[in-house]
Amino acid sequence: MKVRIFDTPEAVASALAERVADALAARPSLVLGLPTGRTPIAAYAELRRLHTAGRADFSRASTFNLDEFAGIPALHAGSFRAFMDRHLFGAVNLPPARIHFLDGAADDLDAECARYEAAIEAAGGLDLQMLGIGANGHIGFNEPGDELAARTHRVRLADTTRRDNAPLFGGDPANVPREALSMGMGTILKAAEIVLIATGERKAQCVERAIGGPVTTRLPASFLQLHPRVELYLDRAAASRLRP
Ligand code: GLP
């Protein structure tokens, strides 16, 4: 894994946005995998800025978000779809037909997962997957456990993850759905390139274990060690437990 350490979270955000803008310039029909969470918010703001400055053209790109809460419609303010509309989609020139999302309100959630997996295949696979990391080492909503699902699937969310996502649901973890839909580890690892961003002291331990520890289902991000083209963009706090 290629690790790049930046002085501040803002520097991480702008490096990620530049990385995406460069990828779009090199391949205008880029198929981009997108994360939610607090960490990428600044990178999305930076991408909006680059778009306004004429340096990030999404007109031929496609996007697939990693995950979505189960049981809530896209229009719900707490949905990841609403998050993406707020932070990116509403301000760049992505054609709506090429914005792909899991529908957490679908009648048949298993069929919805199969549909999504097929849609990624039909798009030619993910060229560049952006990732955040949960404080427990989850990526997407692939939570630590005895086993990890390879393909897009339903997940039961860990209590810590529901607490972390409470701000989207009025601050009360009890309001956070218990289940979600997520790309699987195999879906993510099939991306041609992966860039994971992590900022803050809270992520330092899982970053250290993801990079230097064993590959284990107990820390889903550790599976990234198996991928040939992974970059980690970290601020100093998230990198604070790495050996120089
Ligand atoms: C959610 C998302 C993950 C994200 C994680 C970290 O659980 N499903 O994709 O990486 O949050 O969020 P934050 O960046 O707020 O720490």
Q: What is the pLDDT of residues 7-62, one digit of tens each?
A: 999 999 999 999 999 999 999 999 999 999 999 999 999 999 999 999 999 999 99
Q: How much is the pLDDT for 244? A: 75
CB 157 within 8 A of CB 141: yes
CA distance 132 to 238: 12
Atom 1 of ligand 1: nearest residue by CA position: 37
Whether residue 242 lies inside any domain: the answer is no
Whether residue 65 lies inside any domain: the answer is yes
Backbone angles phi and psi of 128, in degrees to 5: -140, 120
> What would the mean pLDDT of 189-209 be, rounded to a whole number?
98
**CB-based pocket (< 6 A), ligand 1:** 35-39, 66-67, 132-134, 140-141, 161, 164-165
The confidence band for 6, taking pLDDT boundaries of 50, 70 and 90, is very high
Percentage of residues in the chain with pLDDT exceeding 90?
98
Q: Give the distance (Å) from ligand 1 centre to CA of residue 165.
A: 8
Number of domains in the chain: 1
Q: Give the distance (Å) from ligand 1 centre to CA of residue 111.
A: 25
The confidence band for 83, taking pLDDT boundaries of 50, 70 and 90, is very high
Q: Give the distance (Å) from ligand 1 centre to CA of residue 56.
A: 24
Whether residue 241 lies inside any domain: the answer is no
Q: How much is the pLDDT for 84? A: 98
Non-local CB neighbours of 67 within 8 Å, separated by 6+ positions: 36, 80, 102, 140, 141, 180, 181, 182, 183
The burial of 24, by beta-carbon neighbours within 10 Å (0-12 exposed, 13-18 middle, 19 or more buried), is given as buried
Whether residue 230 lies inside any domain: the answer is yes
CATH number of the domain that residue 152 is part of: 3.40.50.1360
The catalytically annotated residue of 46, 65, 67, 68 is 67
Tens digits of residue pLDDT in 47-56? 999 999 999 9
Tens digits of residue pLDDT in 109-154? 999 999 999 999 999 999 999 999 999 999 999 999 999 999 999 9
CA distance 115 to 101: 10
| Selection from 211, 204, 213 nearest residue 227 by Cα | 211
Instruction: Enumerate the β-bridge partners of residue 3.
Output: 232
Q: Give the distance (Å) from ligand 1 centre to CA of residue 51.
A: 24
The catalytically annotated residue of 46, 117, 143, 235 is 143
The confidence band for 192, taking pLDDT boundaries of 50, 70 and 90, is very high
The confidence band for 243, taking pLDDT boundaries of 50, 70 and 90, is confident
Whether residue 73 lies inside any domain: the answer is yes
> What would the mean pLDDT of 177-189 be, rounded to a whole number?
98
Q: Which atom of ligand 1 is nearest to the CA of 182?
A: 8
Percentage of residues in the chain with pLDDT exceeding 70?
100
- For β-strands 62-65 and 99-100, DSSP reports them as parallel
Whether residue 98 lies inside any domain: the answer is yes
Mean pLDDT of the chain: 97
Whether residue 165 lies inside any domain: the answer is yes
Tell me which residue range forms the domain holding 178.
Answer: 2-235
CA distance 212 to 220: 13
Whether residue 92 lies inside any domain: the answer is yes
Q: Is 136 annotated in the active site?
A: yes
| Ligand 1 pocket mutation pick from 12, 133, 152, 201 by most atoms within 8 angstroms of CB | 133
Q: Is 138 annotated in the active site?
A: yes
Q: Is 143 annotated in the active site?
A: yes
